[in-house]
């Protein structure tokens, strides 16, 4: 498949902070490409750099085999952007907002009405087309944000965390919409810190941390990297440092991390340590609420490579 976004060794600094450090990705035509990483990993910076909204310190970026500089008009006509913050006109109706973006992207006058109707249908906003944006719920505003970004039927679409802070119904509708866009021939670059979403829709995944791509591949290939691992996840009260120290000393335990009341113990696959773990917790007065043994997820990959949880 043809590479249509080629980012090679990009470095981007904000004053002294290096947000991208030799950042390289290759997005192939027709795929949903996931950039998965925690807040602050560099995902938005990467997208803004690719779109030419930020200058870069070094490296190269090509879209459709061309540098953005000198080819902006031709490239931007074929690119759709759905920004992290909803960017619509609050006092315009749904239809007027989408029509404004159709004009901005220079959709031919003869096609405009149809393209606006297609974008409304695509995002399931038919019942709201005459409502002002400010009257919509957060989830519907996000759907409008998407409709505005895809109205010109772009070949390549960048979506920056489009499902943050929305209800499950709108989230599902957005994720299904992204798959439909891919099936109709678009290429999508999708950023998220939700591993479940990225696993569900992305054909190829790059895991980002601290300005680097730390691993990449299909979700199967990424999980194969840690197929000899499992994690015990325990929700409990009264966790403390003495408990963590004792757990770390157990044979076949590889790592112990905790966030508030969630304790994660990384172990080798099939290691028979659960009884020993429970004995230690009980001996220290830890009150256990739930225990789950998880097979590898993208979070396991992240944890193994960085020692941190991907989850917020
Ligand atoms: N305008 C800026 N000035 C200074 N530092 C910045 C600026 N924008 C981002 N950063 C820093 O660059 C790093 C990467 O941020 P970025 O927003 O790209 O991450 P992200 O993965 O998109 O996270 P989020 O989901 O929180 O937006 C962070 O350390 C952030 O604090």
pLDDT by residue (tens digit) across 187-245? 999 999 899 999 999 999 999 999 999 999 998 999 888 888 888 999 999 999 999 99
Fold of 3-224: Rossmann fold (3.40.50)
Q: Closest ligand 1 atom to the C-alpha of 37? A: 21
Confidence tier at 311 by pLDDT (50, 70, 90) = low
pLDDT tens-digit map of 248-278: 999 889 889 898 899 999 898 878 899 999 9
Percent of all residues in the chain with a pLDDT value above 90, rounded to a whole number: 71
pLDDT tens-digit map of 13-69: 999 899 999 999 999 999 999 999 998 899 999 999 999 999 999 999 999 999 888
What is the location of CATH 3.40.50.300 in the chain? Answer: 3-224
CATH number for the domain running over 228-294: 3.30.70.100
The predicted pLDDT at position 69 comes to: 84
Q: With 80 as the cut, is the pLDDT of residue 108 above it?
A: yes
Q: Closest ligand 1 atom to the C-alpha of 84? A: 27
Mutate to test the pocket of ligand 1, among 38, 41, 312 (most ligand atoms within 8 A of CB): 41
25 Cα–ligand 1 center, Å: 18
> Does residue 37's CB lie within 6 angstroms of at least one atom of ligand 1?
yes
Give the 3-state DSSP-derived string for the chain, with helices as H, strands as E and coil as C: CCEEEEEEEEEEEECCEEEEEEEEEEEECCCEEEEECCCCCCHHHHHHHHCCCCCCCEEEEEECCEECCCCHHHHHCCEEEECCCCCCCCCCEHHHHHHHHHHHCCCCHHHHHHHHHHHHHHCCCHHHCCCEHHHCCHHHHHHHHHHHHHCCCCCEEEEECCCCCCCHHHHHHHHHHHHHHHHCCCEEEEEECCHHHHHHHCCEEEEEECCEEEEEECHHHHHHCCCCEEEEEEEEECCCHHHHHHHHHCCCEEEEEEECCEEEEEEECCCCCHHHHHHHHHHCCCEEEEEEEECCCHHHHHHHHHCCCCCC
The bridge status of strand 17-28 relative to strand 32-36 is unpaired
What is the location of CATH 3.30.70.100 in the chain? Answer: 228-294
> Does residue 48's CB lie within 6 angstroms of at least one atom of ligand 1?
no
> Does residue 14's CB lie within 6 angstroms of at least one atom of ligand 1?
yes
Say if residues 304 and 222 touch (Cβ distance below 8 Å).
no
Q: Closest ligand 1 atom to the C-alpha of 211? A: 14
Q: With 90 as the cut, is the pLDDT of residue 286 above it?
A: yes
14 Cα–ligand 1 center, Å: 9
Q: With 60 as the cut, is the pLDDT of residue 312 above it?
A: no
Q: Closest ligand 1 atom to the C-alpha of 15? A: 4
> Does residue 83's CB lie within 6 angstroms of at least one atom of ligand 1?
no
Please report, in angstroms and rounded to a whole number, the separation of the first and last CA atoms in the chain: 35
What radius of gyration, in Å, describes the C-alpha atoms of the chain? Answer: 22
pLDDT tens-digit map of 130-160: 999 999 998 899 999 999 999 999 999 999 9
In this prediction, residues 99-119 reach a mean pLDDT of: 94
């Amino acid at each position: 498949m043809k590479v249509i976004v080629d980012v090679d060794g990009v470095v981007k600094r904000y004053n002294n902070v290096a947000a991208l450090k030799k950042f390289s990705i290759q997005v192939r035509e027709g795929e949903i490409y996931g950039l998965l990483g925690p807040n602050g990993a560099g995902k938005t910076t990467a997208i803004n750099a690719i779109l030419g909204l930020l200058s870069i310190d070094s490296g190269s970026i090509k879209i459709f085999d061309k540098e953005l500089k000198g080819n902006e008009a031709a490239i931007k006509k074929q690119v759709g952007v759905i920004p992290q913050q909803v960017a619509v006109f609050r006092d315009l109706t749904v239809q007027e907002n989408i029509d404004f973006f159709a004009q901005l992207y220079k959709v031919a006058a003869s096609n405009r009405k149809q393209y606006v109707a297609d974008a409304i249908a695509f995002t399931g906003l038919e019942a709201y087309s005459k409502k002002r944006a400010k009257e919509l719920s957060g989830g519907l505003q996000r759907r409008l944000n998407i409709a505005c970004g895809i109205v010109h039927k772009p070949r390549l679409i960048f979506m920056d965390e489009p499902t943050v802070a929305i209800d499950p119904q709108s989230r599902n509708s957005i994720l299904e919409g992204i798959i439909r866009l891919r099936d109709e021939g678009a290429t999508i670059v999708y950023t998220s810190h939700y591993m479940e979403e990225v696993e569900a829709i992305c054909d190829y995944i790059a895991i980002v941390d601290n300005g680097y791509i730390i691993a990449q591949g299909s979700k199967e290939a990424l999980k194969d990297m840690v197929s000899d691992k499992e994690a015990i996840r325990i929700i409990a009260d009264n966790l403390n440092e003495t408990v963590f120290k004792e757990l770390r000393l157990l044979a076949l335990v590889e790592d112990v991390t905790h966030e508030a009341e969630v304790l994660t113990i990384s172990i080798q696959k099939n290691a028979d340590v659960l009884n020993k773990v429970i004995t230690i917790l009980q001996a220290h007065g830890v009150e256990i609420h739930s225990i789950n043994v998880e097979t590898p997820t993208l979070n396991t990959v992240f944890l193994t490579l960085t020692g941190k949880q991907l989850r917020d």
